């Protein structure tokens, strides 16, 4: 049985086995090789794009809908409760706002990917989007921190964590060229 190694590229893509790579992703070695007995199923996890954040955001929203509706049908909410529409509409609005804020960072991603210097306008919008998104996710974590909703609070905290991790990677890429230029001069 051939021995396969876990490798990763500089862009954050992890490759298991001998998965093909493009010339834009130089291969780097991870110190712990592992055996993979079935090479037909190659797994690639890309941690350099916002897919993980978007996935956790959608899962949190869908779980919110399910939990609110389930609690309503199970009679957990008081019978004098008028409607469950308020949390459902708030969750939908939150999802839409956070997706739009993520989309507003696209010009900065595009500039960083092409290697061009980022504009002040794109960087300012990205920083504003990061601030607003972080505040909304912190508020969502706090809002759902109540009995029968702890799972939602935990999911929004995980969403916040993946978002902040993604943003740190983004701003690290933004600051890296500046740091290299200041060391040269």
Establish if 69 belongs to a structural domain.
Answer: yes
23 plus 108 within the same structural domain: no
Paired tokens of 182: 């200041």
Domain total in the chain: 2
Residue 96 lies in a domain: yes
Report if residue 159 sits inside a domain.
yes
Structural domain containing residue 32: 1-48
Separation between Cα atoms, residue 67 and residue 76, nearest integer Å: 11
Q: What is the predicted pLDDT for the residue at 177?
A: 65
Largest alpha-carbon pair distance within the chain?
70
Quick one: 19 and 95 in the same domain?
A: no
Instruction: Give residue 137's pLDDT.
Output: 97
How far apart, in whole angstroms, are the C-alpha atoms of residue 10 and residue 14? 9
| Residue 27: inside a domain | yes
| Amino acid 22: pLDDT | 45
Same domain, 67 and 81: yes
Residue 103 lies in a domain: yes
From first to last of its 185 residues, the chain has per-residue pLDDT tens of: 555 555 555 555 555 554 444 444 444 444 444 555 555 555 555 555 688 899 999 999 999 999 999 988 888 877 666 678 889 999 999 999 999 999 999 888 888 888 888 889 989 999 999 999 999 999 999 999 988 899 999 999 999 999 999 999 888 888 876 666 566 65
Residue 112 contacts residue 100 (beta carbons within 8 Å): no
The set of residues, in sequence order, having a beta carbon less than 8 Å from that of 121 and lying 6+ positions away, is 107
Give residue 75's pLDDT: 83
């Amino acid at each position: 049985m051939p021995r396969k190694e876990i490798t990763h590229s500089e862009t954050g893509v992890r490759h298991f086995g001998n998965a093909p790579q493009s010339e834009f992703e130089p291969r780097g070695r991870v110190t712990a090789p592992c055996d993979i007995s079935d090479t037909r199923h190659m797994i690639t996890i890309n941690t350099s794009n916002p897919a993980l954040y978007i996935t956790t955001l959608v899962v949190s929203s869908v779980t919110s809908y399910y939990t609110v509706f389930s609690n309503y049908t199970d009679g957990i909410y008081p019978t004098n409760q008028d409607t469950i529409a308020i949390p459902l509409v708030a969750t939908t609005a939150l999802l839409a706002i956070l997706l739009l804020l993520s989309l507003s960072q696209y010009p900065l991603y595009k500039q960083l990917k092409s290697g061009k210097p980022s504009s002040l306008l794109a960087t300012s919008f990205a920083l504003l989007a990061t601030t607003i998104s972080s505040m909304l996710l912190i508020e969502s974590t706090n809002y759902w921190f109540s009995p029968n909703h702890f799972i939602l609070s935990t999911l929004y905290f995980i969403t916040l964590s993946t978002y902040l991790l993604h943003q740190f990677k983004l701003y690290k890429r933004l600051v890296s060229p500046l740091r290299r230029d200041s060391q040269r001069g």
